[in-house]
Structure 1
Amino acid sequence: MAQLNYRTINIDVLDPESSANFPMDTLLPSTLPEPTTSGGAASVAQQVRQMLRGGDPEGALSHVLDTAPLSGDAQAKEVHLATVIEVLQGIRQGEMLKVLEGVIAGEGGTERADCLMKYIYKGMAVQSSTGGTQSPSSRKTLSPQGTGSGFTQVQSRNFGEGGGGQQMSVLLSWHEKLVELTGHGTIVRVLTDRRTV
């Protein structure tokens, strides 16, 4: 009889309650929309711009959040992110609370709030990773700058490019109003959701 080395057996495969045997596809809802292409996202951007010009910021924000490409390609997601940020920047600060209340009220309001929070965080991440309005390909490499006190400063400077600080300010204002209306639950749901925008 051959000796069996029990340390080499993967017991997680044998245990039906193990997380290794958990079907990961059950974490995603079965009602995901069809994958969106960048052409579809561009048509949504046109519709949203028309709504903004027509004086319907609440409808524009609702439409852009309802058509989020959760299963789209990367190019479609970038185009849609730019559209969402354009809508958020197009709404005056005095109207933010009223527009948010209208978008969140009713059926699907929680999903819209969560989707908006995802876009706010994604916009902040893009802002901080690209150092403002620069594209990632045009970003220069940074080198530490001595301060004379033994510390170094490594950061990008946004001279003359404009818009980067303003966009971050708009995103932070929307974040504040959204948390004020929905509470901290939307932050937790966004951080734990596997669907990305």
Structure 2
Amino acid sequence: MSESTMYSLKYPIGEFEKPAQITAEHISQWIEDIERFPIRIKELTHDLSTEQLKWPYRPRGWTIKQVVHHCADSHMNSLMRFKLALTEELPAIRPYFEDRWAELEDSLDDDLSYTQMLLEGLHYRWVKLLKSLTADDLKREFVHPEHGQQFSLAENIGIYAWHCNHHTAHVKQALELKGES
């Protein structure tokens, strides 16, 4: 398999590209993407068999169930990062080893119903918070020590809208490949 094919399987919608100027329209669309994510994932996965949940989205990639469980882990971390940035001055957030988390027992569970409930509740609260942010709030930042960079909340909304769409595309891709990655 070529390197470009592996890249397109890993990043089916491409990598996140921050707009030169983040507008209110960007923020609105991104929040809508985040809000719709639990419904979109549930629609894609609710009728899948245990065998289908084990289909990877690319060679040596996560399975459908690992992707869904990862999204709950990642989005919980993101909500906490937003709250830290809103309540502290330039906090350093804590990174985590998402690849290791994806191998833990709860990320290998064939029952997605609890993760779906978690995503629904989490996204409800997250979107409620995001919709309440002022222009000044959107400028608040946190430091990601893994990258040594500061990220604004406005940019982070875009990153997580991309994350939602990225992993939705992974699930769709796994279903198209039917376990034959």
Normalization by structure 1: what TM-score?
0.27
Q: Which one has the largest radius of gyration?
A: 1
Q: TM-score, normalised by structure 2?
A: 0.29
